Amino acid sequence: MQKKGKSFKWTMECQKSFDQRKHLLTTAPILSIIDPKKGYIVYTDASKEGVGGIPMQEGRVIAYECKKLKEYEQKYSAYDLELTDVIHALKMWRHYLIGKKFLLMTDHHSLTNYFKQPTLNARQARWSDFLSSFDFEIKHLKGKENRVMDALS
């Protein structure tokens, strides 16, 4: 992570590694074209520094998305961090997911009970309204089995 006041040097080795990953992530057979008739599985994962998600169809990656968290977001609880990740991913692919039943895979087990919670904090209640516009099921995926997201991070 880049710290304020500390310089970062972008070397030729960094550029070569970046170019190689960019090529691998943006060329066939990695990315797939979306078929609106097929179902989706959305994988998400969050860390204290960022959130990311990957929508897939029939085991093929459609897109990648990640975002660095703002300083105030980095202070969220683990539960709210993971929920921030879900919200971010669903906002990014809302145009594909609205009106479709899909599966959301997360390595945060307690998110599977989100819709059964008796009380929500103000942030979660706000997000609940947004989430209610989607038709999805949340499934837990053990962290070590979340290879899809590990490849992105």
Find out whether 63 and 34 touch, Cβ atoms under 8 Å.
Answer: no
Q: What is the pLDDT of residue 141?
A: 82
Where along the chain do its domains lie? Answer: 38-152
Q: Which residues contact 70 (CB under 8 A, 6 or more apart)?
A: none
What is d(CA 49, CA 3) in angstroms, rounded to the nearest whole number?
12
Query: Over the chain (153 residues), what is each successive 10-residue block's mean pLDDT?
Result: 76 91 72 86 89 89 90 91 93 92 89 82 88 92 63 53
Considering the entire predicted model, what is its pTM?
Answer: 0.74
Q: What is the pLDDT of residue 145?
A: 60
Q: Which residues contact 36 (CB under 8 A, 6 or more apart)?
A: 96
> CATH code for 38-152?
3.30.420.10
Find out whether 42 and 103 touch, Cβ atoms under 8 Å.
Answer: yes
**Do you find a cis peptide bond into 29, omega within 30 degrees of 0?**
yes
Neighbours of 81 (CB within 10 A): 19
The candidate with the shortest Cα–Cα distance to 40, out of 151, 129, 144, 134, is 134
Residue where the block lists tokens 């899809």:
148
